[in-house]
Amino acid sequence: MKILFAGGGTGGHIFPIIAIAREIKNSSPDADLYFIGPRDEESKHLLEKEGIKVKNIFTGKMRRYSGGIVFIQNLVDLAFKIPLGIIQSFFYIFFLSPDLIFSKGGHGALPAIISAKILQTPLFIHESDINPGLVNKRFSSYALEIFTSFPETKDLPIEKMILVGNPIRKSIIEKVEEEEIKKELGINKTKPTILFLGGSQGSERINDLALSIMPQILPEFQVIHQCGIKNSKEIIIQTEFLISKELKKNYHLIPFLTENQLRSAYQAADLIVSRAGSGSIFEIAAAGKPSILIPLSESAQNHQLENAYFYSETGAAIVIEEENVTNHLFTKEISNLLKSNKRLNEMAQSAKNFSRPRSAEIIAEYIIEFLD
């Protein structure tokens, strides 16, 4: 059984693939798993740890904003990188002869999907967002099955759609003891705890927002802040000036939360502040935690905004759009929530009701049944 995964290099693509791969291995330990996509050393490391063989290829994307440099970047991608990626993918898939390709979509999957169509390799895709990406929309007619995260996913053939949610790693929602949380994060649960997440690569704007309100919230609350590896040095310098020595005991800065640390952080958190990528929403929901979502305003097809508002309608989250975020409003919203146990419990229950923790398992079952 040879299964080839395809997708971009961000955590939003990689972590669901890892979740599905683990479920496939649980049922079929002898399955050979492969990945094809753009070069990203962190993603490659994570995938290879799971026994997935990685093939890096050239990929490109069409940027929708204007400017002279952007025009040149788009021209290079369209004229050189994408065609080279398609050629690389074609020969790799031709000689590998996978039984099935599973795509998470995104520009990183485009060369592999085009090659799959040319070579008539069976294709399954997963669409994370309510408003699908261009690659998934364009090739949805070729896909045999289309797994979706949200029940109102647009512009895809309804007869092929299977609602499963977004695959999450089951380990991150396992219960852990207080001693384990202290060991992983170096914290004692003595105050209400806020977890700031900016996605796997960190968000500069969420980092800036978090730091700007720390002097106001740290006297009452404890903070776990994942800032992203590339931002960590700058954030450490800023905290020296912004956070007093007395308050630093309540502030826990971590560049990137490992799987075990993330599990502990989810369990310790009373409230989560996050972007609104599908992966983050479904992890937060499975953890059963109230959240404040700040959608990325420049996300493709505005998908984060649509994801966030759909999720918030369940009562599990509050949405604050970036243009409306002020320090005063944000601080007040956090304080009001954390002082109302009734509201927090209602939001937590709504999150649990929305979650679909078996998504990866269900997708793996479909793949294995198709290949048997």
Same domain, residue pair 158 and 299: no
Q: What total number of domains does the chain contain?
A: 2
Res 230: pLDDT: 80
85-129 per-position pLDDT tens digit: 999 999 999 999 999 999 998 889 999 999 999 999 999 999 999
277-329 per-position pLDDT tens digit: 999 999 999 999 999 999 987 766 678 999 999 999 999 999 999 888 889 99
Res 78: pLDDT: 81
Same domain, residue pair 22 and 147: yes
Domain interval for residue 132: 2-167+357-371
Res 63: pLDDT: 67
Encoding tokens for residue 233? 């040095």
List strand residue ranges (DSSP E) for the chain, in order.
Answer: 2-6, 32-37, 53-56, 100-103, 123-127, 145-148, 161-163, 193-196, 222-226, 251-254, 271-274, 291-293, 317-319
Same domain, residue pair 185 and 272: yes
Q: Would you give per-residue pLDDT tens digits along the chain (372 residues)?
A: 999 999 976 668 899 999 999 999 999 999 999 999 999 888 999 999 999 999 999 987 766 666 778 778 878 878 889 999 999 999 999 999 999 999 998 889 999 999 999 999 999 999 999 999 889 999 999 999 999 999 989 999 999 999 999 999 999 999 999 899 999 998 888 899 999 997 656 678 888 889 999 999 999 999 999 988 887 888 888 888 889 989 999 999 998 899 999 999 999 999 999 999 999 999 999 999 999 999 987 766 678 999 999 999 999 999 999 888 889 999 999 999 999 999 999 999 999 999 999 999 999 999 999 998
φ/ψ bin of 85: left (φ > 0), alpha (ψ from -120 to 50), beta (otherwise): alpha
Res 201: pLDDT: 61
Res 240: pLDDT: 87
Same domain, residue pair 306 and 365: no
Q: Which is it for strands 145-148 and 161-163: parallel, antiparallel or unpaired?
A: parallel
Res 199: pLDDT: 60
Encoding tokens for residue 139? 């090739």
Same domain, residue pair 182 and 161: no
CATH of the domain at 349: 3.40.50.2000
Same domain, residue pair 153 and 291: no
Report how far residue 198's alpha carbon sits from residue 202's, in angstroms, rounded to the nearest whole number: 4
Same domain, residue pair 179 and 106: no
Res 20: pLDDT: 98
Same domain, residue pair 43 and 156: yes
